[in-house]
Copies of this chain bind each other. A is one copy, B any other.
Amino acid sequence: MFPIENDRLAGQIAFLLEIDGLKQVLRRSLIFGSSRRENSAEHSWHLAMLALILHEHANEKVDLLHTIKMMLVHDIVELDAGDTFAYDFTGYDSKEAREQAAADRIFGLLPADQSAELRALWDEFEALATAEARFANAVDRLMPMFHNLADGSTTWQSPGVRVEFAAERAKAIDEGSAPLAGLAQEILRRASADGLFAVATEE
């Protein structure tokens, strides 16, 4: 942009301008009432709002600031690595390596202390080993289910996606929040009854 004398501020601004690109990373979900695909920046805002409003439903008490930070940061690696579709089983093989390289580069723009903090937040989200990460993962999995139900299931209609796969993904919601898992089950029940899955269960 232009030279900034203060090195610390320069790194912070470089990072903040760089992540503007997350507004151009497209997910599979459509926003409500539109044929436009959702981008990862607006998705991150929405999840931060879910965390703010729904954290009382977490199975274990969560630190709200920590959870919101995780929501804001959890998709930034997609800037380089792209959004890997939940049902792209081939893409998932290379997902980790692509995302680790992205994290090195993008968080590396920040001053060392902040780079380490954001990297740790993202690692924590991926590892699902804390109450905050499990709750963050639950809201990350729940919201697209509402989008799918509303738009007639754009992503669930993809070739080969079975209700069992969706149910398996939804199970993780139960690890973070039993009441939200209840909503997920109801969405799956309705979507399945409405024939929204391309390949139905064989039962």
Contacts and interface: CB of A to CB of B under 8 A. Distances in A.
A13 B48 contact: no
Number of copies: 2
A53 B20 contact: no
B53 A12 contact: yes
Interface stretch (A34-42, A97-105, A158-166): A34-42
Nearest to A8: B56
Contacts of A1: 146, 149-150
A17 B41 contact: no
Interface in A1-43: 1-2, 4, 6, 9, 12-13, 15-17, 19-24, 31-34, 38-39, 41-42
A167 interface: no
A15 B48 contact: no
A183 to B, nearest CB: 7
Given A9-B57, A42-B45, A52-B69, A23 B31 contact: yes
A45 to B, nearest CB: 4
- Interface-central residue, A33, A39, A110, A187, by most chain B CB under 10 Å: A39
Given A24-B31, A65-B68, A69-B52, A19 B2 contact: no
A64 B20 CA distance: 21
A112 interface: no
A45 B9 CA distance: 20
A183 B53 contact: no
Nearest to A186: B2
Contacts of A22: 42, 45
4 smallest CB-CB distances across A and B, nearest first, come from A45-B45, A41-B42, A65-B65, A42-B42
